[in-house]
Amino acid sequence: MAEENKSLLADQSEIEWLLFKAPVKNTDIAKAAGMSDSAVGALRRKDSNIQEMRFKFAAALTNYALELKKQMEL
C-alpha cells in the first residue's frame, strides 16, 4: 500500500544519462526497473523510443538513475 502513495516522476534527461553514459550493465538496469534485458538493449540501441515507453518503466529508470548518481556522488 505504501507504494501506491509514492508519487512517480519520469525525467528523460536522467533516463538518457542512465542508458548512454552510466557505467551499468543492461541486466542491472533491467532488474532495477522491472524490465527485460532485451527491452533495455533496444532502448540503448535506439531501436525503441524513450518517449514511447510505459510510464511506470520511465519512472523506474529515472529513480534508478537518481539513486546511481547519489551513490556515485554526481
pTM: 0.87
Helix/strand/coil (H, E, C) string of 1-66?
A: CHHHHCCCCCCHHHHHHHHHCCCCCHHHHHHHHCCCHHHHHHHHCCCCCHHHCCHHHHHHHHHHHH
Span 23-53, pLDDT tens digits = 999 999 999 999 999 999 999 999 999 999 9
pLDDT attached to residue 74: 65
pLDDT value of position 2: 45
CA torsion through residues 28, 59, 62, 21, sign: positive
- Looking at every residue in the chain, the average pLDDT score rounds to 92
pLDDT at 8: 84
Note the pLDDT of residue 7.
Answer: 72
Q: Which residue has the cell 548512454?
A: 20
Question: Which of 55, 47, 56 is CA-nearest to residue 26?
Answer: 47
How high is the pLDDT of residue 1?
39
